A and B are shown apart, each in its own frame.
Chain A
Amino acid sequence: MSGWTGKILQVDLSERSVTTLSLPDDVYRQYLGGRGLAGYFLQDATDFEWDDPKMPLALCTGPLTGTTTPASGHVIFATRSPLTGAHLDESVGGKLGTQIKAAGFDAVVITGSASSWVGLEIRNSDVRIADATSLLNKDTIEAANALYQFNAHAVIGPAAHSGVRFSSVLVDRYHGAFRGGMGLGFAAKKLKYIGVTGSRSATVSNETLLQGAAEDIRRLTAASSILKGENGIANLGTAALFDLIHTRRMMPTANFRRTFFDAAAKLNAAQISETFEVESFGCSGCHISCRKRQTNATGLPDYEALAHFSALLENDSLRTTVSANALCAQLGMDPISAAVSLACYGEIRGITLNGEQILELLTDIAAGKGEGKMLGQGSLRYATKAGRPECAMTVKGLEIPAFDPRGAFGLALAYVTSTRGACHLRALPLSHEILRKPVATDRFSFSGKARIIKIAEDQIALVDSLTTCPHLMLAASMEEYAQALTAVTGLELTTADLTQVGERIYYSERMRNALWGFDAREDDLPHRFFNEAGTSGPAFDVPPISRNEFLEARQRYYTVRGLDENGMPRQDVAKRLGLKWKN
């Protein structure tokens, strides 16, 4: 079929074997690619712990990868999370996705565990498992530099070697699989890096139709103030959100004890532009170029890292914030989980960390040294061990991003229903609750949100299966991307067909989580959000979330999603979606 290569690269690191697999066409129709295909490879892994050699680590491209469809060159990394024990996937930018596809593979699925540190080197059909000993003592930047001969690469850093549960995989130096401990998943297999160079062109069924769809998408993004406006993320990066979230009284401050940071004006996107020499860059095939770095090649923080290394820690130094973010990249750690863990530490110790302490603790975490060793297990394990679990700001053990749920109730619901733990991207409720797209909804109400979140979760699952950047959903929709998919594959897939694909993907993740022991108890927010108010604004209050209203909304979500009252999957729904049922 056009759009797919029809080949899956299977690597068994225990056996040091490399094989290729062909999947039936039906699998592609049912799961498309990306996150859907990754779920397909994980479906039989429900008996394995995250560090079991049999646990797959999947890197999946999609049918649009490598085509001229705007912003569709991501790759999905997936496995079971070392941090949460739940399903984990991440949509990763850069060039890795397009290079895997150009090498001739729809996906790379890695199992086993090598006897010594290795790298996976892919040059079109030439695939080798190489010795990685020489890179062992290198941080991610040094390792990336050593892999210059590949068109794209993914590396882990010292944090993964030390067993940090929120260690990341850095891709093409500035992108990465940051959340949930993907880096530790690599380390469990003794996989230090992946390097890929491909030279094949993607196949497209109808170039003219694709050109039309691409033009529609580009016109919509040009009309989007959020993406392409002068205050938008193309111009300022996602740091553009900093002032807006601040004025909406949603900026987590002092470990979520407040929602407004007095020093915010010293840390916003304008200050970044004034303080540093900034240049823009983007992912393969993207016309937005939302990523920002200094002209000296140091990456600049996205919104989440900018807010969490400043407001969350009550740090008013922009330079410390930028340094902390760069240090996380260099050491291979998720900046969100790292910052929330530090904030948790600060609250338990009753201290506000200064800049020097922030950077020192980050270094200690990555080295597994002193207090850093336990902090590297994530804030939930750290706080529980300290006897203060209420200080861990997590959902399903994953640290909460820099958007306070008291300021947007759809977001509160989406945090708890997300299959990978606290994540603002799984249903993108900020699009309508804060950014007014496609239209504004009442952010202080649960009314209608159960179905809105379910619909959006299905759509984002689909977007991730096309390996399209979720930011594009702030301007375009599946209407335009369905047309692109038809143009590329020649398959006449309607929105309804695609909707069922999204639903199937999401439900299968929920089924795996259930088998891994997750139920309604984990679909919950920390008690702070129900008991303590946020910081009120001049024209509005930010009260605690009503526990009853939250529970009612969550129950409505279970009904809409086809789960039982305890949030568990139902066999009849699994059957309708064509999913294998396992007790």
Chain B
Amino acid sequence: MEKLIQKYVRKLTHQGLVQADSVLMGGLDAEFVWNKTDKRISALENLFAGLNINSFLVATPSSPIADIIAYLSKTCGDAVRPSDSETRTFLHDLPIAKSSDTTEIAHHLNRRKCVLLPDGSIAAYGTVSPEEAFVTFSSACFAAYVKFMSDCLLGVRDGNITKDAKYVLQKALDALQLPPVLTPPVLPGPFNSEAQIHRAMSEVGRHTVDHRLVDSHFGNVSVLWNNIVYISQTGSSLDELESCIDPCPLNGSSSAGITASSELTAHRRIYEETDADVVLHGHPRFCAILSLDCSEPNCPTRGQCHIRCDKARFVEDIPIVPGEVGTGSFGLCNTVPGAIKGKRGVIVFGHGLFTSAQKDFLQALQNMFDVERMCAEAFIHKIQ
């Protein structure tokens, strides 16, 4: 437990998700382990018994997320209800606490996996590992950012943005780091062994995380080789893919890939319908924000855009398609493969970006960098 606590405290810091020294993380098996001493610990230890959890995290996100959460806490009533796909599916909503008191935190964690605190911090828990708290924390950061920025876009268009929102928006714009024009080097293809495939996937996964094109354990990556799709496992962290890759034969002769990413079907169909050899899926923030930016408030499918939007929508040349996570009748596996043909990538409404390429990951990664940069620039243009 102690090693896991240390690992995720380190990871929160290393990925720039938190303000230094704000992280308090604890775990419990038969005895408690905390990452540091803190006057809140005694009260928080009571919270473990009531919630039947095994790990807990409270931390202040790095700027501008903490400012955004503090702003949303003041303006969103009892909960933030983001429209992005991951939040809708896995977190449902982000409750807001009136204070940082432990009883108040426990009250909200009785209902949801995390709670936003008035000072911009986030509290989250895990039932089997501190990793769950880490994943929830980073997902909440992504959700809050996307919610705030897309609300700002809407507010600017409607001429209805408050002074407080403008102040926070400016902080967010000041802190904005666009993906670089040139991608880092990747292992050149074509690949001719499983070892090379594992190396290439691990490498591109790390680049995607390092450049903030995916925030937590979401996103996935695959390679088609010898009629087998090698794909990242469900819930795997793209910066730790070394032992988290499932081989899934196209002919279905093995179901060992039951732990494969829930987007396996989307990847497989892309391979079946295009000449791609690799597929990369990340959650670049501005791709998600721009996809939520719709100028048709009276559209009959409003509120169900993520599954029913039938308009041909684009950011420049990049199509935006509806689709939910996974394989249901509204699954993105039904919309992405057809739309990606001949394109640099496809944005899934409120979700993220798929790119594909032949031979190796160079073009797929380049396209992800380029499309996210293009979306960020389009956002800045619209907001100004």
A residues near B, CB below 8 A?
A: 216, 218-220, 222-226, 228-233, 236, 239-244, 246-247, 265, 268-270, 273, 432, 434-441, 447-452, 455-456, 458-459, 479-480, 482, 494-496, 499, 502-503, 539, 556, 559-560
Contacts and interface: CB of A to CB of B under 8 A. Distances in A.
Given A223-B324, A438-B132, A447 B29 contact: yes
Contact of A219 (B258, B264, B265, B324): B324
Interface in B219-255: 233-236, 243-244, 248, 252-255
Interface in B10-39: 27-30
A259 to B, nearest CB: 15
Contacts of A438: 126-128, 132, 235
Given A223-B326, A230-B265, A435 B258 contact: yes
Interface stretch (B49-57, B68-76, B285-293, B365-373): B49-57
A265 B249 CA distance: 13
Given A269-B255, A440-B236, 12 more contacts: A216-B92, A219-B328, A228-B328, A236-B255, A270-B252, A434-B259, A438-B126, A438-B128, A451-B54, A455-B52, A482-B111, A560-B30
A243 B235 contact: no
Given A230-B268, A438-B132, A225 B30 contact: no
Given A270-B253, A495-B51, A495-B110, A222 B233 contact: no
B257 to A, nearest CB: 5
A270 B254 contact: yes
A560 B255 contact: no
Contacts of B111: 479, 482, 494-495
Contacts of A216: 92
B327 A448 contact: no
B261 A247 contact: no
A233 B4 CA distance: 31
B196 interface: no
B112 interface: yes
B262 A224 contact: yes
Nearest to B48: A451
B1 interface: yes
9 A-B pairs with the lowest CB-CB distances in the bound complex, closest first? A222-B328, A494-B110, A223-B325, A243-B256, A556-B30, A223-B326, A231-B255, A499-B52, A225-B262
Given A216-B92, A219-B324, A450 B258 contact: no
B327 A452 contact: no
B99 interface: no
A222 B325 contact: yes
9 contacts: A219-B328, A223-B325, A230-B268, A438-B128, A451-B28, A451-B29, A452-B54, A459-B127, A479-B112
B52 A228 contact: no
Contact of A439 (B3, B110, B235, B331): B235
Nearest to B52: A499
Given A451-B29, A479-B111, A435 B54 contact: no
Contacts of A435: 258-259
Contacts of B4: 447-448
Nearest to A483: B111
A202 to B, nearest CB: 24
B89 A220 contact: yes
B127 A452 contact: yes
B132 A231 contact: no
